[in-house]
Structure 1
Amino acid sequence: MAIFVGMSKTGVHGTGMISVPLLASVFGGQLSSGIMLPILCIADVIGVWYYHRHASWVHLKKLFPWAVVGTIVGTIVGSMIDDHIFRMIMAVTIMASVVIMLWLEQHKEDIPDNKPFAAVTGTAGGFTSMVGNLASSVMAVYFLSMRLPKDAFIGTTAWFFMVMNWFKVPFHVFAWHTISWNSFLLDLIALPLIGIGAFIGILIVKNIPERIYRLFIIGMTLVAAIMMLI
């Protein structure tokens, strides 16, 4: 699981989402999101360290305010639903993202690059990030639609998730109580594996052409959706 997360943060997007249903099947939806978050925070730092120069801040500035709104809404909604609904939200989110990605590949000329589209995506990203750490699929839809080059895609997503994941920590600690000292110690054990995964991810991304990289993201997202529904 930690290796998959490390790979996802250095460009092999989608592998991190595979670990979401694996963890949810053991600990349940809400608790698993709290266990996963510190691992993501650590891996985010590695991703930003390696790809920080490639971020598109024009897009990030549009997304951040709305992502904060989505995170707050996700915190409120997440505290009101049971674990079954939590998992269903995860599955529907990933499947919807796959459908949208496939549609975008066929309708490149119809993609809106405006504030309302960024507002909807940012809010959805914040919400799904809080409810299941699934914003990767939602934000992939947005950044793929913006036609960002491979390195810019990775660098921009790295900054987005580092900021938002660290922002979410107090909500998990004080509102949901899904992060404890024991869960944090469990996450620290995974630190070496995160580093290994990050290194593997860098090697893989360097050898994937732009077109194949886009299809790879879609394919890995689909695999994660299937795993969530099983």
Structure 2
Amino acid sequence: MGYYINYYMDYFLYLLPALIVTIVAQVMVSRTYSKYSKVRSGRGYTGAMAARAILDSNGLQNVGIEHISGNLTDHYDPRTNVVRLSDSVYNSDSVAAIGVAAHEVGHAVQQNRGYLPMKIRAAIIPATQIGSKIAIPLFFIGLILSFEYLTTIGIILFSATVLFQLVTLPVEFNASRRALQTIEQDHFLEGGEVTGAKKVLSAAAMTYVAGLLMAIMQLLRLLAIAGRRND
């Protein structure tokens, strides 16, 4: 009985605070994006137009731009060298759309210039994909069967997820910084429009901070559980 009490106490101690931060971050993104998606840019660029112009100005004519369904599903795919923009960004001339499009182009620029944190993140993706699927099951199978080596492997694999989240922070913050510099210097947005784009990208960045916090707290929870079982 004591084990199960401690199990649920661990949940409230480690995961609940991180979950609250994650929810708050998601709400902030939704509200901020919704607000500035209604503010049209003065120069009338759409997300796709801005993305193409920024890519071309960086000598990245070989990087494609595609439309992808969904909301805020925007991303840069380094495997196919394509920037994919969502329904709410591709044809939209809003401040939010241009900010998001410029951010994704920032990842393409990072790839082209060999940005080190992006290289590191790409290198650990395979381990992260494996770890995210089997780390927790292995950990608890090891606990149930008293196979300590399985719990250790589970913790090591989950640590790859934490490392991925950690490396993701500089990648995302740098892409946003590049985006804001470009849209201001090249006058895609002007005045208060730049401030709006900055608020959108800052809110989005907080989701990555929340993701890292959640991963760290989950790892600490696994270590706490394993530590009690070994006592």
The TM-score, its normalising length taken from structure 1, stands at: 0.33
Structure possessing the higher relative contact order (Cα contacts under 8 Å, 6 or more residues apart): 1
Structure with a larger share of its residues in helix: 1
The TM-score, its normalising length taken from structure 2, stands at: 0.32
